[in-house]
Structure 1
């Protein structure tokens, strides 16, 4: 597939997906949502980690309100169901770790697109905004799910009602993202985190993702059962054996994802 609104690059087992409409602050269009969904499917098969980021000075400003239908006849239910849900699901269910590298403002659906990744790393100068209520809407694209789970009900409610900017440092302090990084160190930190995951035990990462995500719907006993079952499977992998031998030999492990 030839992409028109994103860039896709694969290097050293790292797939980088870049939102590439900088003239609109990478606002999301129907085509961009389809391309992101497709790219995540490709990356899950040929990479060991995915980095999602934005071109220019913003990560993503949310829905492009000038895309297609006018606001008066926009079918938001259909758009969310048929376009946003597949995109967010592609990120959440990607079999390899996903990093969202927030290089600038992330607003509306753009903020929640970022939060759907496994790990969010943001420049200190970036910010997040649940801008929906400013135009008479509620958070979507997974926002009502991710926000209370990452930052607690009180902060999530305030973020949704007031639509205030949340700085990257606040997001870090509140547990909304993994880390806020000084602008001058941001690129190197994203690269280091991606390299670590690309060289790590891919099968273990896959089970970590799935088991933590499923924990929201499990009681304690069910979660313990899943831990035992999946840990037993990982204990039979080549990567586990390599990890133990490397530890005993006091050398870096060479994981192959099998």
Structure 2
């Protein structure tokens, strides 16, 4: 993978690190392609049981690289094309789909500001461990754009439609504590502890019952858009899969023997 995104797999845990600290991890085309391809690689790798998405430097991701964006808009004007905004379809949408649709849990270790698409990446994760010095910014309308990277779907489901509209219509930064109070943050930790705490959460998931986690992730997404009756049928389907897994048998035996289960991820 490109140096703008670092990719490492250790004992079932894929760590994906956005690595443009000199630009506050703004997403230029190279970084977007690398992040998309890294997430797809993690999703497709049977050896990967959980993913940790984090970043180097003082920011998690400030969204679109506006310096590159301005030059691409200028090129569009010169050629009479509108190619620049294709990045939503070609990059941001596939990134969010990879985060939300892979059958394994994703932890976001948010070390600093998450703005625009960076906010979208964090919200698309299944669990957010956040430094107390981090900030979340709904910056889209501030540059005369609408929400992308799934924010119009994820944000209202986390904090409610009214609060989401307020943050999107009147873009501003909110502190990590305010984000925690709103329900955006799962675990708030001191900044110095962020790397260790995020890795610990991700490692616990990588060592856990992978089939069950995949089913939980799928059932939550399904239930968000379907009726109770339809969701009950989906739960029946997914519980049958989880119940047939080796991990379920291991868990039951460990419970009976009062020992700690050693899951295989299948």
TM-score per shorter chain, which class? over 0.9
TM-score, reference length from structure 2: 0.92
Give the C-alpha shift of residue 185 in structure 1: 2.8
1:105-116 aligned at under 5 Å gives the runs 105-116=113-124
The separation in 2 between residues aligned to 1:213 and 1:135, in whole angstroms, is: 30
Provide the residue aligned with 2:34 in structure 1. 35
Measure, in 2, the Cα distance between the counterparts of 1:185 and 1:70: 39
Q: 2 CA distance for matches of 1:8 and 1:110?
A: 18
CA distance in 1, matches of 2:55, 2:237: 38
Partners of 2:99 and 2:243 in 1: CA distance: 27
* Counterpart selection for 1:142 from 147, 150, 174: 150
**Aligned-residue offset at 1:148:** 0.6
Q: Deviations over 1:83-114 (max 9, x none)?
A: 21111111111221111100001111111111
Segments of structure 1 that go 5 or more residues without pairing to the other structure are none
After superposition, where does 1:210-221 map in structure 2 within 5 Å? 210-221=218-229
Tell whether the 8 Å contact from 1:14 to 1:198 is kept in structure 2 after alignment.
yes
Q: 1:76 to 1:214 in 2, by over 3 A?
A: farther
The aligned residue for residue 176 of structure 1 is: 184
- The worse-fitting range, judged by mean Cα deviation, of 78-87 and 200-209 is 78-87
Residues 189, 4 of structure 1: alpha-carbon distance in 2 compared, 3 angstrom cutoff: closer
Deviation at 1:145, TM superposition (A): 0.9
Tell me which residue corresponds to 1:26: 25
The 5 Å alignment of 1:226-245 reads 226-245=234-253
* Contact 1:59-1:104 within 8 A present in 2 as well: yes
- For the residue of structure 1 that corresponds to 2:224, the secondary structure is helix
Matched with 2:174 is: 166
Q: SS of the counterpart of 1:253?
A: coil
Between the aligned partners of 2:100 and 2:152, the Cα distance in structure 1 is 15
Aligned pairs, number: 257
Q: Is the 8 A contact 1:151 1:174 kept in 2?
A: yes
The correspondence for 1:129, drawn from 132, 137, 159, is 137
| C-alpha contact 2:36 2:95 (8 A) present in aligned 1 | yes
- Structure 2: distance between partners of 1:135 and 1:182: 31
**Unaligned segments of structure 2, at least 5 residues:** 77-81
- Paired with 2:161 and 2:187, the residues of 1 have a C-alpha distance of 21
Provide closer, same or farther for how the CA distance between residues 210 and 76 of structure 1 changes in structure 2, counting only shifts above 3 A. farther
Matched, 1:96 2:96: no
SS across alignment from 1:254: coil
Q: Could you tell me how far 1:76 is from its partner in structure 2?
A: 5.1
Equivalent-residue separation in structure 1 for 2:168 and 2:126 (angstroms): 22
State the partner residue of 1:188: 196
1: CA distance between counterparts of 2:243 and 2:143? Answer: 51
Q: Is this contact kept in 1: 2:39–2:98, CA < 8 A?
A: yes
TM-score using structure 1 length: 0.95
